Amino acid sequence: MATVNALLGVQWGDEGKGKWVDFLARDHDMIVRFQGGNNAGHTIYVDEQKLVLHLLPSGVLQPGTQSVISAGVVVDPIVLQAEIEKVGKIGHRPTPDTLLVSERAHVITPWHVATDCRQENEVSVPIGTTKRGIGPTYSSRVNRIGLTMGHLVNKDHLDSWLSSMAKDSGFQRSFNEDRENWEKFLAAIPAVAPHVTDADHAVREAMRNDRRVLLEGAQGSLLDLGLGTYPFVTSSATTVGGAIAAIGFDPRWISSIYGIAKAYVTRVGEGPFPTEIFGESLEWLRGRGNEYGATTNRPRRCGWFDAVAMRYAVQINGIDQLMLNKLDVLSQASELKIAVAYRHPQLGQLPTFPTTSEILAEVEPVYETFEGWQEEISSASSFSDLPPAAQTYCQAIEEFSGVKIGKIGIGPRPQDFIPGRS
């Protein structure tokens, strides 16, 4: 019987997935990234040293595991080469056998990056993208003009793609004028080529052969292209279905689906955010949580825990349990709030999570208020060690979100967590 577990961000990204992938990687043989690209930023700690990976699955640091970049990911070869070197320097250089990159994954070229930057600067309502070329690369794929990794590493195919794209004046301009990046791009190919293979088949074979496979999501459910807060979303399916569509396997093989969330909410980029806080409370929370983007270093918007959005995320993914991060950040707050419903000025109390960003922007959250706790909690070793107010807060998150909390993060180090309520 296959063991296939999925780990997904269930807010607007930056939930702290890296910590849990790193933790769960120990019990898995293969870690598979299934969507997104180097717009992600997973922070992990190796021997107390902070390491941020944008593209490589966090499992590359785990001896004995295979890491896979599957067909649903968009790959910038320059970034892939740099990350292979980065982990190589700390003694974890992947081999063609330990890092597999799908031939079907699409390639981010300097033209895609430039297009992303240009679009963000020109549109009247920017999305606040990471400007890493993610959206334009997925657009090329959907337009059926994209370049796959399989084609990138085959000189004839690459040449024929480049000459077919030369008909596009914008592409041609990028190719002629952005020489430095195109040279870096072409120079990265030999370093990444040994890893490019039918990686998705390898994942299916691992599943069939009862190896333990962890599907590692990037971004978060509310940024899902189809199910998130469109158009303020990323360009891939960040929900569990994204993994199935990307890799192609029997969905019945999935055993557990872990949802990663913070004990509050953050968002980077534009778009509606009903529980957003401002002023002194924002500065306090941002400072305590060090809420600055791992990829772009942008200050993150912060807000109260949103149980309405969480219920939705739990439903669209079939989340079994939450890993609740950063509870320790909330210590010393005088009071805490959880949004338990949304009220709309014209539509009244909404029965479901709104389907349009316009409505979401107009809702007023209905809050339950909770007492804060003053003690620092990072040395707690069980749920019952937490101050009663922290226990009540976690219990309320479970009740209002309709999901059990499996583990609670109480500090940044890998070992800083406790089990949820028994």
Q: Which of the residues are catalytic? A: 14, 42
Question: Looking at this protein, which amino acid is placed at residue 282?
Answer: L
Q: Name which position in 152, 153, 223, 380 contacts ligand IMP (CB under 6 A).
A: 223
Nearest of 373, 381, 255 to residue 320 by alpha carbon: 255
Q: Name which position in 62, 129, 229, 325 contacts ligand IMP (CB under 6 A).
A: 129
CB 404 within 8 Å of CB 321: yes
Which string of x and - marks every residue 274-293 that binds ligand IMP (by CB under 6 A)? Answer: --------------------
Q: Which is nearer to ligand IMP, 293 or 372 (CB)?
A: 293
Q: Which is nearer to ligand IMP, 106 or 132 (CB)?
A: 132
We find the least distance from the C-beta atom of residue 90 to ligand IMP, in angstroms, to be: 22
Q: Name which position in 33, 104, 132, 262 contacts ligand IMP (CB under 6 A).
A: 132
Instruction: Kindly state the tokens that stand for 116.
Output: 């992303």
We find the least distance from the C-beta atom of residue 271 to ligand IMP, in angstroms, to be: 6
Question: Do β-strands 348-349 and 364-371 pair in parallel, antiparallel, or remain unpaired?
Answer: unpaired
d(CA 174, CA 107): 16
CB 86 within 8 Å of CB 92: no
Q: Name which position in 18, 269, 274, 289 contacts ligand IMP (CB under 6 A).
A: 269
Instruction: Kindly state the tokens that stand for 231.
Output: 């158009």
The three-point CA angle 261-69-223 to 5° equals 35
Binding of ligand IMP by 66 (CB under 6 A): no
Give the rounded distance of the alpha carbon of 39 from its chain centre. Answer: 8
Q: Which is nearer to ligand IMP, 132 or 407 (CB)?
A: 132
CB 153 within 8 Å of CB 136: no
d(CA 291, CA 116): 24
Binding of ligand IMP by 13 (CB under 6 A): yes
Binding of ligand IMP by 15 (CB under 6 A): no
Binding of ligand IMP by 403 (CB under 6 A): no
d(CA 331, CA 98): 41
Candidate ranges 11-19, 69-77, 273-281, 319-327; the one touching ligand IMP (CB under 6 A): 11-19
> Which residues lie near ligand IMP (CB under 6 A)?
12-14, 39-41, 127-130, 132, 134-135, 218-219, 223, 232, 234-235, 268-269
